[in-house]
Amino acid sequence: MAIQSVIFDLDGVICFTDQFHYQAWKKMADKMGIYFDEVINNRLRGVSRMASLEIILERYEGEPLSVEKKEELAEYKNDLYRELLNTMKPSDCSKVVRRTLHELRNRGYLLAIGSSSKNTPLILERLGLSGFFDAVSDGNNITHSKPDPEVFVKAAEMLGSPAAECLVVEDAEAGIRAGNGGGMKTAAIGDAVNCHLADYEMEHFSDLLKICE
């Protein structure tokens, strides 16, 4: 079936906030005396905030932490992360990404965001993209995080597009699995190319213009 809608992951596809996630989690980990590095940070791609915390706590050697303490740690990280997000500006979404999005729209495709992040509204605002997408499905409207397909299924519903007519663009293996599980076509970029589970593997964001002709 022909592709009619494109659902984009946000972090790692439309913009890059990995370093902000890393810096904020690193401060939290240092405060708790937990070892944390960029390799562990890479495992947090596309994973929800609380699931990310659990991955970091695999290296924690102290007494078991209460739910309240874990929520406090996640909030501490998120406050630091949002301070960093507030330094973002429209140029943090590249010209190639913007041009490609506009060209896809000119070609008649519906465009949506499908992100695990609860900070999606703030990120889109900082990039000057609030209101640009035809639908935004994010960490605020889901109960199951990627690799569960929920975030993309909801995006397709908001667009009114059948799953088989949607293409999911993702930088995380969990996101490719989510798109495949939702019955959508998938395009991998960046780190997600390595899992070889996507229908398309992209070197550049503009490769979308060859996939969506």
φ and ψ at 58, to 5 degrees?
-55, -25
Considering CB distances under 5 to 8 angstroms, the limit depending on partner class, which of Mg ion, ligand B16, none binds residue 119? ligand B16
Residues near ligand B16 (CB under 6 A): 9-12, 21, 44-49, 52, 78, 115-119, 139, 172
* List 9, 138, 148, 171, catalytic entry: 9
Residues near Mg ion (CB under 5 A) are 9, 11-12, 46, 171-172
Query: For residue 210, how many other CB atoms are within 10 A of its CB?
Result: 10
What residues contact residue 198 under an 8 Å CB cut-off, 6+ apart? Answer: 170, 176, 179, 180, 186, 187, 188, 192
> Would you say 44 or 104 has its CB closer to ligand B16?
44
What token pair was written down for 124?
């889109």
Per-residue b or e along 155-166, where b marks 16 or more CB atoms closer than 10 Å to that residue's CB: bbebbebebebb
CB of residue 166 to ligand B16, shortest distance in Å: 16
Partner in contact with 47, chosen from Mg ion, ligand B16, none, beta carbon below 5 to 8 Å by kind: ligand B16
User: What single letter denotes the amino acid at residue 38?
Assistant: E
If the CB atoms of residues 47 and 208 are measured against ligand B16, the closer one turns out to be 47
Q: Is 130:53 a contact under the CB 8 Å cutoff?
A: no
- Tell me which of Mg ion, ligand B16, none is bound by residue 154, counting a contact when its beta carbon lies within the kind-specific cut-off of 5 to 8 angstroms: none
Q: Which is nearer to Mg ion, 11 or 148 (CB)?
A: 11
Active site residue 134: no
Shortest approach of ligand B16 to residue 63 CB, angstroms? Answer: 25
199 annotated active-site: no
Both structure tokens of 157: 């519903």
Phi-psi region of 212 (alpha: psi -120 to 50; beta: other; left: phi over 0): beta
Q: What's the closest the beta carbon of residue 114 comes to ligand B16, in angstroms?
A: 7
Q: Which residues are catalytic?
A: 9, 11
